[in-house]
A = this chain, B = another copy of it.
């Protein structure tokens, strides 16, 4: 059936929804939730392309849509590239894709063939699989796992679901499996590596569940979101960038699965590996250092978990042509003191400008990770990479490289770290007794930062003044909360008082 269309001006975030008049739907034999294939037509009636898969909602009211008109959500409208020339659309009932049979086999515990994995990935790319079907695939990997062969196939298929960039053989990158607050090491590592003259095309996501992603923090210093053309121009010219990866649309099949993994709060081992590596393949990365924070609240509660993952990751990445070194790191408390986009940008810029002031945890971790890349590049002997990284930090070359990155991306390279705006509302939290910090609850740190407005409110966040092992006296400032709004600050303070993120030892607990 051929229809006129109406742009509804509604976005579902990702799902492609079309709204059919109820009588049209009846005639097509289509029920709400059914999957249809939609084609754009020219005035002459010619179809373009293979059509797009969409999900049907039904107009129950004649005022919503006249018969013969299909309502389009933004996702469908944009995908169909409709125009004056393509001003009609056709809708056909679409069958369940055969890739779902493969998913059901995986649920039963069978190993999938390369062909089956390719089919699943194709149907993720073209959004032919429903959300619940993608969820079934994710859960099947969670329960049944996958062989190395399957993970390699999945990685390659997801990488090839979009464009693969090629910047030659010497392309470096760092990545973190996440889970530790204030992990702003990327903002230190990238300028060190650039200072060494190595190509590092760092693309990052924005924060989804954490208070700040690298893209969110760097955006305080310079824009990060560019068109694909501009991204390629920056990288080709500068051999470095700290960019939001969204515009590149690399490995779209991976993105389709991530959109379901996040709300499912599931990240099965095989997919966790394939997802990181496929994005690196797409960015043309050849040498990678992987930061694997281990401990409570991360994906790897024990070092043994992290080690298992690291070995598997190295195996898979080698098989797809990426050399990887993994570093298991301590995730017991934030790296540095600051959490939140502006506070993290400020802390990183302070360290780059004057490395002697620290914080030492940020300096150490950054230089260890950067040092590994320098060793992989042959810039330093094994065991000497960290020293070289420190040298680039101490001699100001990393700071100069950072300025160059900021300038190339349209920011102010001469920004004074002390002029980076935070707050403006701030509350200092005071120790209620003498003692020392015995442990830190990352979960509460993240929660407080988010209640204060992170990551959307860039000036919100926290500073942890006393970290594990540090002594404190009653009345001293041990924590600061910043927020763009007084109301949010009050809420964050309330949460802080109910869930103290720093555990103080050596105190009298109670006297009766």
Contact = CB atoms under 8 A, between A and B. Distances in A.
Interface of A: 7-14, 17, 19, 26, 29, 31-33, 57-61, 63-64, 71, 73-74, 96, 100, 104, 107, 130-136, 139-140, 142-144, 260, 263-266, 456
Q: Is the interface of A mostly helix, strand, loop or mixed?
A: mixed
A63 B6 CA distance: 12
A14 B26 contact: no
B130 A263 contact: yes
B26 A13 contact: no
Contacts of A9: 59-61, 63-64
Q: Which of A57, A74, A130, A132 has the most CB of B within 10 A?
A: A132
A107 B143 contact: yes
Nearest to A55: B12
A60 B139 contact: no
Q: Which of A7, A139, A144 has the most CB of B within 10 A?
A: A139
Contact of A11 (B13, B58, B260, B265): B58
Contact of A265 (B32, B33, B96, B142): B96
A142 B293 CA distance: 34
Contacts of A61: 7, 9-10
Contacts of A130: 263
Contacts of A10: 19, 57-61, 64, 71
A263 B33 contact: yes
Nearest to A27: B456
A278 to B, nearest CB: 22
Nearest to A264: B132
Contacts of A19: 10
A295 to B, nearest CB: 21
A74 B58 CA distance: 10
A132 B260 contact: yes
Contacts of A63: 9
A136 B135 CA distance: 7
